[in-house]
Structure 1
Amino acid sequence: MKKERLLIFYLGLLPFVMVLGNSMLIPILPDIRRSLNLSGFETGLILSMFSIPAAIIIPFIGFLSDRWGRRLMILLSLLFVITGSFICGLSGLIPSNRISFSVLLTGRIIQGIGAAGTTPLAMALVGDIFTDNRSKVLGVLEVYNGAGKLVAPVLGALAALKSWYLAFYLFPVTAAISYWGIKKHVPKAKSGKDFFSINEYTIKILKTFNKKRNFLFPLYLSGGVSMFVMFGILYYLSFLIEETYQIDGFFKGVTYMFPLGAMTIVSYWTGKRLKTCREELNGLLFLGNILMVGCFIALILFHSFSFLLFFITLAFGSMGFILPSINMAVTSSVPDSERGFVVSLYGTFRFLGVALGPVVFENWMDEDERIFIYPALILLASFFYFVFSNRREYFSLIQSLRPGQR
């Protein structure tokens, strides 16, 4: 039991490392922008150049993990994270702003390549190792994900009190601990190349997607849209609370604890709930999407900071229903030999959402109404697509909610 808890801890550090990649930088983006004299688009690239390489690399990492083993690919990924982090940290010591920015982006790309093998492979490994309590462990991973988002802005804000580039030296410490734990506690397993050829693997994957595309792609899209909105809003808040409400430093980092804390708590509850009541998965997804759409419609109407923080907190809490449910559905949808690729493709959608969020929201930030109208419409379209793809399940759900129905 103790060994299992240690394994879950070290696996949980993988999404924690991934989350540090962007969430820790959110509150210090204005500082980096001023220090390096960047435009709004260039500032958004600091986040996107981490997420875009990860989104591109993830499917290949998933394929390689199915062929060569999760453990090996996770360890290699963490080495990339450590290397990229040191390069990013060194960029702050270069006197030329343009060269410093180029080195920073180079380090972010290397970090992103490493991040491709963190959360998706952690989810795939959980699917391989755990059976009876798989949903609970996946919920715990999402809690680590949320806890990283919760703690990271505070850590970033504290580091920025001295200098913005010091934040990057926190990555190698966490990554090194995870590396040691994974190497010690995850046993070596036979690789997929011992069981099937590349041609056999490709045929199996194509058959899987042909059979389950109507089930998987609505889940992929819902997860990607959730991350797009999450990081777009976090980017927007970073500038709003500093420039409009004059909240900076440690208290700026604390402001993020309300929405991200709500997501972490709800994620933990959802993971525990799905362990005993897996049949509630569709209902929790439905509830989370309805709340998300409702919150952004409300944000179009109410603009004060108190209302803004309340509805964003509620929206992030609703993601706590959505993300663990999708994790469970995707991870359990395929056998072990195909899980790495299928889960990694889901990770691609999530990383694309993270990459596009800051850049797109930067273009919407000029008008208060647009910053909430467009996300509301995107969420609504994603929700309708998801419900339409699962119309039989939701028709049965709605029928069961009518008075007099049992």
Structure 2
Amino acid sequence: MDTNEEANKGSIWVYIAIATIPLVLVLGNSMLVPILPDMQEKMGISRFQSSLVITLFSISAGLIIPVSGYLSDRFTRKAVIIPSLIVYGAAGVLAVFAAVWNSYPILITARAIQGLGAAGTAPIAMALVGDLYKGGQASKALGLIEASNGTGKVVSPIIGSLLALITWYAPFFAFPIFCVLSLLAVIFLIKEPPREQKADPLRIYLGQIRDILRQKGRWLIPAFFAGSITLFILFGVLFYLSQILEEEPYRIEGVRKGFVLAIPLLGMVITSYTTGAKIKQNGTLMRWLMNIGLTLMTVALAFAIFLNSNLYVFIGLLTLSGIGTGLLLPCLNTLITGSVERDQRGMITSLYNSLRFIGVAFGPPLFGWLMSISHKTIFTTVSSMALLMLILVFFCIKPSGDMPEKS
């Protein structure tokens, strides 16, 4: 075994360094969710315009992620992650100035550039985990990535709310700081194993990806869309909650609102980490957990159509949906990451993450539009989508026994 690989497997600091990458990424959206109503008021923009602060970030990331995936296969994972964190942090500085200048055009431009940087962070970290770890260690590390992603979602509304006590745009100052910390962790703590060979030239490489999708597309493509729809629902619900909590009859604002937003996400994060630690390469267990998770999401979101007058019950249902998400995503991550050889792993995981970002991108604006119709319309729509994903996953994704490991 390579010395670098041995060092990575034996160090808790490597886990921490890997976990900072998705943490930085998720802060890019979730930390801004609590301040969107304030942004609308202070900048004189509409609800739709404020949702674009989330959407443009996610769309630009989603479009560039496959390019980052190819580059990480062609060169190394760190050669993509490090410049991406630098771009992400630098654009964060521009976003700070845009907020201070009260310039909406500069702000959304900065957010789009941040998305370009985000494309080379967490999606490539997922491929890096597949390079560093095998078997049970890989599923545990992937569960850690999803848990770190979820932890970011839990703490970021609280951090965003706390920073907003200083001034509404204070959360923008946090991005560059977090990027610098993650950058240092990646540079000094992660020793990437040597690459035996680079990815083939682009034409041959794309042909290999096409062959993989032909061979495994029957379950890979449903897995991609299940991850996308799940993130669409999650961020849409967060946007919806952030808007309604400040209205009658709730009138919950500031840090209190941040804590309420964090409750469903806490259920997701605990479940994600536990799931990642338990599934190892057990395909039968993964299939059970994916279907149970989507069933919980479907039932909880369906009950939310009618049970929204009591805030405690409503948040409880959304937490149950979050637990379902925590059962589903680590299983999808493990299946997708382990499905291909190392030289194509960056592109396959990037296609998956690209669709996840697109799901995040369309959540806030579509939920904003659905809010103009009715609460029942929102939750009828998302519970139907969760049911459709349950049917698709049940019939198309059927791992069994111990999954083979890919090097």
Q: Which residue of 2 aligns with 1:320?
A: 326
Q: Which residue of 2 aligns with 1:404?
A: none
Task: Read off the aligned partner of 2:111 and give its amino acid letter.
Answer: R
- What TM-score do the two structures reach when normalised by structure 1? 0.92
Map 1:240-251; keep pairs closer than 5 Å.
240-244=244-248, 245-251=250-256
Task: Read off the aligned partner of 2:100 and give its amino acid letter.
Answer: L
CA distance in 2, matches of 1:4, 1:85: 31
Task: Read off the aligned partner of 1:353 and give its amino acid letter.
Answer: G
Q: Which residue of 2 aligns with 1:50?
A: 57
CA distance in 2, matches of 1:138, 1:57: 22
Task: Read off the aligned partner of 2:252 and give its amino acid letter.
Answer: I
Matched, 1:307 2:320: no
Q: Which residue of 1 aligns with 2:164?
A: 160
SS in 1 for 2:170: helix
Task: Read off the aligned partner of 1:308 and give its amino acid letter.
Answer: F
Instruction: Give the conservation status (yes or no) of the 8 Å contact 1:157–1:250.
Output: yes
Match of 1:231 among 235, 242, 251: 235
State the 1:188 CA deviation. 5.3
Matched, 1:282 2:287: yes
Match of 1:197 among 167, 178, 201: 201
Task: Describe the superposition over 1:120-148 as per-residue Cα deviations: whole angstroms up to 9, x where unpaired.
Answer: 11110000110131000111111111110
Task: Describe the superposition over 1:225-284 as per-residue Cα deviations: whole angstroms up to 9, x where unpaired.
Answer: 000000000000001111221111111111122101100111111011112744300110
Q: Which residue of 2 aligns with 1:259?
A: 264
Q: Which residue of 2 aligns with 1:65?
A: 72
Task: Read off the aligned partner of 1:247 and give its amino acid letter.
Answer: I
**Range 177-186 or range 44-53, more displaced:** 177-186
State the 1:285 CA deviation. 0.2
Matched, 1:181 2:185: yes
State the 1:196 CA deviation. 3.0
Q: Which residue of 1 aligns with 2:404?
A: none
Q: Which residue of 1 aligns with 2:3?
A: none
CA distance in 2, matches of 1:204, 1:276: 25
Map 1:39-118; keep pairs closer than 5 Å.
39-94=46-101, 97=102, 100-118=103-121
- What TM-score do the two structures reach when normalised by structure 2? 0.92
SS in 1 for 2:200: coil
Matched, 1:368 2:375: yes
Q: Which residue of 2 aligns with 1:11?
A: 18
**Range 78-87 or range 161-170, more displaced:** 161-170
Match of 1:141 among 129, 142, 145: 145
Task: Describe the superposition over 1:62-98 as per-residue Cα deviations: whole angstroms up to 9, x where unpaired.
Answer: 011100111110001101110111011111221xx5x
CA distance in 2, matches of 1:275, 1:163: 45
- CA change 1:260–1:242 in 2 (3 A) is same
Task: Describe the superposition over 1:330-387 as per-residue Cα deviations: whole angstroms up to 9, x where unpaired.
Answer: 0000010000000000001110110000010001113111111111111112222222
State the 1:205 CA deviation. 1.4
State the 1:198 CA deviation. 2.8
CA distance in 2, matches of 1:36, 1:66: 42
SS in 2 for 1:38: coil
Match of 2:44 among 34, 37, 45: 37
Instruction: Give the conservation status (yes or no) of the 8 Å contact 1:66–1:192.
Output: no
Task: Describe the superposition over 1:296-326 as per-residue Cα deviations: whole angstroms up to 9, x where unpaired.
Answer: 1111121221221110011011100011111
Tell me the percent identity: 35
**Range 296-305 or range 21-30, more displaced:** 296-305
CA distance in 1, matches of 2:277, 2:199: 35
CA distance in 1, matches of 2:199, 2:174: 40
CA distance in 2, matches of 1:43, 1:257: 21
Q: Which residue of 1 aligns with 2:362?
A: 356
Aligned length: 390
Q: Which residue of 2 aligns with 1:387?
A: 394
Matched, 1:330 2:336: yes
CA distance in 1, matches of 2:196, 2:123: 18
Task: Read off the aligned partner of 1:26 and give its amino acid letter.
Answer: V
Match of 1:270 among 263, 271, 275: 275
CA distance in 1, matches of 2:90, 2:220: 34
Match of 2:301 among 282, 296, 303: 296
CA distance in 1, matches of 2:27, 2:108: 16
Instruction: Give the conservation status (yes or no) of the 8 Å contact 1:69–1:192.
Output: no
Q: Which residue of 2 aligns with 1:123?
A: 126
Unaligned runs of 5+ in 1: 397-406
Task: Read off the aligned partner of 2:98 and give its amino acid letter.
Answer: S
Unaligned runs of 5+ in 2: 1-6, 402-407
